[in-house]
């Protein structure tokens, strides 16, 4: 088990009651990070923390409503459905100044989730950065990792594309990707978030057409 360090940041996961938020919480909790599980209602956040402690007793997690979670976390992660992205960010915007916001949003529009449908801003990540302004370091990541794999004790054969305007913020998210058991790669500025978001629909189509449980992406090549 990874060594616990008292100086590790606290991570607030907004929408931490869903599958993806729960999976990331399990992985980061086992890696020794302090967690804050955010939800629109405190009872729902409490139930999520209780469920997390059942499967991962070592995880340090507390429940809060989203605005309080965003204020308390050193790093904030947004894992809500795309339809709730902007309303959630507007609610917590004042608490995000000077912080890294990891936006995991994928702009899927049912029923055609296997078709790429990016928003007018170019991507959900760019939409978040435009709304929050440059005082918030928005980093887009984790769109292509299957949520159910994060919740299982397995090695995940999928890399993570990390897009954001500041290299230091991307470095931190790549560190968190490693803590979650996946490899993160610098993918350029937040405008490039469109690539990973679009790939999600492509991977969904591949899963359906070729009867694959969870296709993913891998970066190949030799380092110089």
Is the residue at 28 inside a domain? yes
Is the residue at 221 inside a domain? no
Neighbours of 77 (CB within 10 A): 30
Domain encompassing residue 52: 10-210
Task: Return all residues near 186 (Cβ < 8 A) that are at least 6 apart.
Answer: 162, 167, 170, 174
Domain count, the chain: 1
In the prediction, which pLDDT does 56 show?
87
In the prediction, which pLDDT does 222 show?
79
In the prediction, which pLDDT does 6 show?
53
pLDDT in tens, 172-184: 999 999 999 999 9
Is the residue at 1 inside a domain? no
- Of the candidates 20, 11, 55, the one whose C-alpha atom is nearest the C-alpha of residue 150 is 20
**CATH number (domain holding residue 29):** 3.40.50.720
User: Are 217 and 195 a contacting pair, CB within 8 Å?
Assistant: no
Is the residue at 219 inside a domain? no
Is the residue at 141 inside a domain? yes
Q: Show the low-confidence residues of the chain (pLDDT under 50).
A: 1-5
Is the residue at 72 inside a domain? yes
> pTM score, two decimals?
0.93
Is the residue at 153 inside a domain? yes
Is the residue at 132 inside a domain? yes
């Amino acid at each position: 088990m990874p060594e616990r360090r008292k100086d590790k940041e606290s991570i607030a996961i907004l929408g931490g009651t869903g599958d993806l938020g729960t999976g990331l919480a399990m992985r980061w909790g086992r890696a020794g990070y302090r967690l804050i599980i955010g939800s629109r209602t405190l009872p729902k956040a409490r139930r999520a923390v209780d469920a997390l402690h059942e499967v991962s007793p070592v995880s340090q997690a507390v429940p809060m409503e989203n605005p309080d979670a965003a204020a308390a976390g050193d790093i904030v992660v947004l894992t809500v459905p795309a339809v709730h992205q902007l309303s959630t960010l507007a609610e917590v915007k004042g608490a995000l100044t000077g912080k890294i916001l990891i936006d995991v949003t994928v702009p899927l529009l049912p029923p055609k989730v296997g078709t790429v449908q990016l928003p007018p801003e170019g991507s959900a990540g760019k939409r978040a950065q435009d709304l929050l302004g440059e005082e918030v370091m928005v980093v887009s990541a984790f769109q292509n990792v299957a949520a159910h794999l994060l919740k299982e004790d397995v090695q995940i054969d999928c890399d993570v594309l990390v897009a954001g305007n500041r290299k230091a913020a991307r470095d931190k998210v790549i560190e968190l990707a490693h803590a979650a058991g996946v490899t993160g790669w610098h993918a350029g500025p937040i405008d490039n978030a469109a690539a990973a978001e679009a790939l999600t629909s492509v991977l969904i189509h591949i899963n359906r057409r070729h009867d694959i449980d969870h296709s993913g992406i891998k970066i190949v090549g030799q380092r110089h």
